[in-house]
Amino acid sequence: MTCGKRFMLGNHAIAQGFLEAGVSVAMGYPGTPSSEIMEYLIEKGEELGVYAEWSSNEKVALEGAYGAAMTGARAIATMKHVGLNVGMDPLMSSAYTGVEGGLAIVTADDPGMWSSQNEQDNRWVGLHAYIPVLEPYDPANAKELARIAIEFSEKMRHPVLFRTVTRVSHTRGPVDVCDGKPPVFGKGIDRTKKRFALVPANARKLKAELVGRWAKIEEEVEELPVTVEEGDPGLLVITSGSAFAYVMDSIKELEVSPTVINLSVPVPVQRKKVLDLATKASKIVVIEEGDPVVETQVKAALFDEGIKVPVLGKSNFVPPVGELSLDITNSVLAGAMSIEAPHRRGVNLGYEPPQRPPVFCPGCPHAASYYELKLASTTSRVKPLFSGDIGCYSLGINSPFDEEDVLTDMGSSLGVGMGIHRGTNGKSFVVSIIGDSTFFHSGLPALASAIYNKTPLLLIVLDNRTTAMTGGQPNPTQAIPIEEAVRGLGVRNVYSMDPFNVREAVNTMRNAIDAVKRGEPAVVVSKRACALEAARKLRREGVEPLIYSVVEDACKACGICYNMIACPAIQPKDDGRAWIDPNSCVGCSVCAQVCPYDAIKPSGNLDWIKRWGEAL
């Protein structure tokens, strides 16, 4: 086996660890900070013969990996932390039945909510579901632990959760990369045993077995790695995951030497290892990324053993909100030892720059759709309540659009939208806005419900042909025309539109609004490839570009282009006239269509727009 050191992204290291463990089946749904794991497996797994796919949602991905592991294969499913909520149903069952091969479910948690709606700590799920959790502290460790996770799962014939966080997944560091193993596929399922058929009679038996297996797992995790830094036995610091990295740097900076133990398994805690050290300690500090998951278990273990020692942790001493940092671990350790933490604060540069919020990209088809939706609803004299969803288009909450009133979770535009309609006894005019990937993820069952229950609502599917938010992964829209899917579900009022044809788009939306006014559900599919993905692809293919520019004298400084579509390529000059940055414009033509003075003109080949329409 040949190995070599490479500078590598944490998520790639995780994926590499799974390849080196002989994983044969990998399924996932994109979500920051998890997506690069599956991207790597799709790219690098191919030559090894690994089957890797983007599934339509996390439940489907988890079931796929679970099914593969039933047959004896080594399988993984990947998702972000909130994705695991969608996968909970099969997850709970997988603990009851166990697996024949290996099954690791990767959950990428996002403390600090860099790109998420919450910072749930999925290590709790391990306790809830009787599934052990492994947690790495840096990219190199992540690769090792990914391999160990699969091996442990296969040994115990039980699923494992692999919990990473943003600062492991999106940190790059040196990783020892070795050759991948040939993938281990399964042999099949023994039909005579019905082991995987959770009818109640079976499930009752399996619950008893599960409890027994969990006791075994509690013993066996003691064989999995812990890292101990010997120091003053009086102060014991217990860490898990990335907390270990911060604590090691803090100890160096503070020049202190407590005893530190890092647990690779936060659930169930490696109890014997902890208790060995705890008996010698007069104070224990537990530092972990997220909630007091380890702390709670450690306290229970101490209680069981009758050991009375103060325990500081997330529940009482470490800030419970947001992610850890060196500054936090410095002050936690210094506080626990009653010494001074270093005071460094930065400097005052005498100016507070304005925020730079994320915005729709230049030429983003969502921006055009939102502009058109606003125009259509105003001219149709409806005052919609906008029920939004998870994706780039959630930026429609910002001015000038202001067309996202509620958005809570994947697919909620329809479910919550129906609830708003019913909750107001039909008085709200609800427009649900969903993207293509989210539509296939969890919009379909909700739409079926709306149709069956005759809920009049307008559904706008912003079909940009890709899962753009997470970096442009493919999804079922590339194989299944959404209009046909919706017609198949029995919607009569189905419309297609191109957001880059402003006049027609507004008319189409008005027709759809009329249908809803008649009390029928209506669906508009607004189809145009993501500007980033399309422009990248067309440039690579050498398609002659198109950009737009403002004719100085013709511009009357009305501001419609830069205030209403808010394309970031268009900027107002000091006199209010528009200026288009030729380095940013991607030639969508929308500004030229909305300018009432015909002051915006193309240069280049108009064929660009047609090719864009066929790009994805």
Partner 1 sequence: MNIYMIGVGGQGLITTSNLIGAAATSRGVKALTSETHGLSQRGGSVDVHVRLGDVNSPLIPLGGADLVIAFELLEAFRAAPYINENTKIIVNSRLIRPPTPRLRLPRAEELINKLGAIRNVKIIDAFNAAVKLGNPIVENMVLLGAAHAAGLSSAIDEGAIIEAIRSTMRMPELNVRAFEVGINLVNNY
Least separation, in Å, of the C-beta of 87 and ligand SF4? 38
Output 318 or 494, the one with its CB closest to partner 1: 318
HSE at residue 482, side-chain half, CA atoms within 13 A, is: 33
Closest CA to 95 of 80, 105, 108: 105
Output 263 or 555, the one with its CB closest to ligand SF4: 555
Output 330 or 377, the one with its CB closest to partner 1: 330
At 588, list the tokens.
């969508």
Q: Do residues 530 and 468 touch, judged by C-beta distance below 8 A?
A: yes
Least separation, in Å, of the C-beta of 602 and ligand SF4? 8
472: left (phi over 0), alpha (psi -120 to 50) or beta: left
Per partner kind, with CB cut-offs from 5 to 8 A, the member of ligand SF4, partner 1, none near residue 595 is ligand SF4
Residues contacting 453, CB < 8 A, separation 6+:
418
Closest CA to 271 of 251, 306, 301: 301
Q: Do residues 458 and 383 touch, judged by C-beta distance below 8 A?
A: no
Residue 174, number of CB atoms within 10 A of its CB:
13
Least separation, in Å, of the C-beta of 288 and partner 1? 14
Per partner kind, with CB cut-offs from 5 to 8 A, the member of partner 1, ligand SF4, none near residue 587 is ligand SF4
Q: Do residues 240 and 266 touch, judged by C-beta distance below 8 A?
A: yes
Residue 586 lies near ligand SF4 (rule: CB under 6 A): yes
Per partner kind, with CB cut-offs from 5 to 8 A, the member of ligand SF4, partner 1, none near residue 454 is none
Q: Which of 184, 277, 375, 590 binds ligand SF4 (CB under 6 A)?
A: 590
Per partner kind, with CB cut-offs from 5 to 8 A, the member of ligand SF4, partner 1, none near residue 91 is none
Per partner kind, with CB cut-offs from 5 to 8 A, the member of partner 1, ligand SF4, none near residue 597 is ligand SF4
Least separation, in Å, of the C-beta of 457 and partner 1? 29
Q: Which of 14, 161, 580, 615 binds ligand SF4 (CB under 6 A)?
A: 580
- Which residues, numbered 358-377, are part of the site for ligand SF4 (CB under 6 A)? 362-363
* Structural element, H or E, at residue 124: helix 123-129
Residue 548 lies near ligand SF4 (rule: CB under 6 A): yes
Closest CA to 90 of 118, 52, 60, 133: 60
Residue 555 lies near ligand SF4 (rule: CB under 6 A): yes
Per partner kind, with CB cut-offs from 5 to 8 A, the member of partner 1, ligand SF4, none near residue 561 is ligand SF4
Least separation, in Å, of the C-beta of 367 and ligand SF4? 8
Residue 521, number of CB atoms within 10 A of its CB:
26
Per partner kind, with CB cut-offs from 5 to 8 A, the member of ligand SF4, partner 1, none near residue 479 is none
CA 241 to chain centre: 19
Distance CA 93, CA 552 (A): 66
- CA 145-249-349 angle, 5° bins: 120
Name the DSSP class of 489.
Answer: T
Per partner kind, with CB cut-offs from 5 to 8 A, the member of ligand SF4, partner 1, none near residue 212 is none
Residue 569 lies near ligand SF4 (rule: CB under 6 A): yes
Least separation, in Å, of the C-beta of 478 and ligand SF4? 24
Least separation, in Å, of the C-beta of 570 and ligand SF4? 5
Question: Stretches 72-80, 88-96, 226-234, 593-601: which one binds ligand SF4 (CB under 6 A)?
Answer: 593-601
Q: Which of 132, 159, 456, 587 binds ligand SF4 (CB under 6 A)?
A: 587
Distance CA 613, CA 538 (A): 11
Residue 550 lies near ligand SF4 (rule: CB under 6 A): yes
Q: Which amino acid is at 325?
A: S
Residue 559, number of CB atoms within 10 A of its CB:
13
Residue ranges in contact with partner 1 by CB under 8 A: 5-7, 32-33, 114-115, 138, 167, 170-174, 242, 244-246, 248-249, 325-327, 330, 344-361, 392, 395, 399-400, 471, 532, 562-563, 566, 568, 571-572, 583
Backbone angles phi, psi at 279, to 5 degrees: -65, -25
Least separation, in Å, of the C-beta of 220 and partner 1? 28
Output 578 or 616, the one with its CB closest to ligand SF4: 578
HEC sequence for 537-554: HHHHCCCCCEEEEECHHH
Least separation, in Å, of the C-beta of 352 and partner 1? 7
Per partner kind, with CB cut-offs from 5 to 8 A, the member of ligand SF4, partner 1, none near residue 355 is partner 1
The SS3 call for residue 491 is: coil
Distance CA 420, CA 412 (A): 11
Residues contacting 64, CB < 8 A, separation 6+:
25, 27, 53, 55, 75, 77
90: left (phi over 0), alpha (psi -120 to 50) or beta: alpha
Output 358 or 542, the one with its CB closest to partner 1: 358
At 465, list the tokens.
């042909």
Least separation, in Å, of the C-beta of 545 and partner 1? 15
HSE at residue 379, side-chain half, CA atoms within 13 A, is: 14
Output 494 or 586, the one with its CB closest to partner 1: 586
Output 357 or 488, the one with its CB closest to partner 1: 357
Residue 591 lies near ligand SF4 (rule: CB under 6 A): yes
Burial zone of 176 (CB within 10 Å; 0-12 exposed, 13-18 middle, 19+ buried) = middle
| Count of positions on this chain that bind ligand SF4 (CB under 6 A) | 29
Residues that bind ligand SF4 (CB under 6 A): 362-363, 548, 550, 555-561, 565, 567, 569-570, 577-578, 580, 585-591, 595, 597, 599-600
